Structure 1
């Protein structure tokens, strides 16, 4: 039970770090909240863990260089996607 709690906490922390790094790496102004950035980072960490497991360079339950790198790339892609969806919902005011 304790091990599961530690893994979930680690996942949340790594997801937050990935989200913040992606936000720093992505050029331009961000039109989404910091909370949404953290959620995107956690989603990217999950996606990267699955991809790393599928290609055999890591596991979803371990932290390694390739998984972290994939998570940052996935987070940047998800940030672009989230902002494009948000831009369609709120067109610019002339």
Structure 2
């Protein structure tokens, strides 16, 4: 993977992670780096899922792919936040 690909993955991960975090109501107990990591994983998994569903490449903006990625990021933020809170309580 070239440096431009890594930078693109980082930027997309930031955007998807932040949007996923904003989609979750309340306070999340994870940091910025975790948000970015969740966003990158959600972007990759969302692209794969959109490809499997046949909605990855469309004319114009791939809204369905974006929604899948954001939903996965929101789920990841919730899961990680709950894990962190559970660890702190013990």
Unaligned residue ranges in structure 1 (runs of 5+): none
Paired residues, number: 87
Larger Rg: 1
Corresponding position: 1:32 with 2:26 = no
The TM-score normalised by the length of structure 2 is 0.84
User: TM-score under structure 1 normalisation?
Assistant: 0.81
Which 4+ stretches in 1 moved above 6 angstroms? none
Residues 19-73 of structure 1, C-alpha deviation per residue, up to 9 Å, x if partnerless? 11111221011111011111111111011011011111116xxx72221111100
Task: Select 2:5's aligned residue among 4, 7, 16.
Answer: 7
Aligned twin of 2:76: 78
Indicate the RMSD between aligned Cα atoms, in angstroms. 1.9
2:15 corresponds to: 17
- Structure 1: how far apart are the matches of 2:75 and 2:21? 11
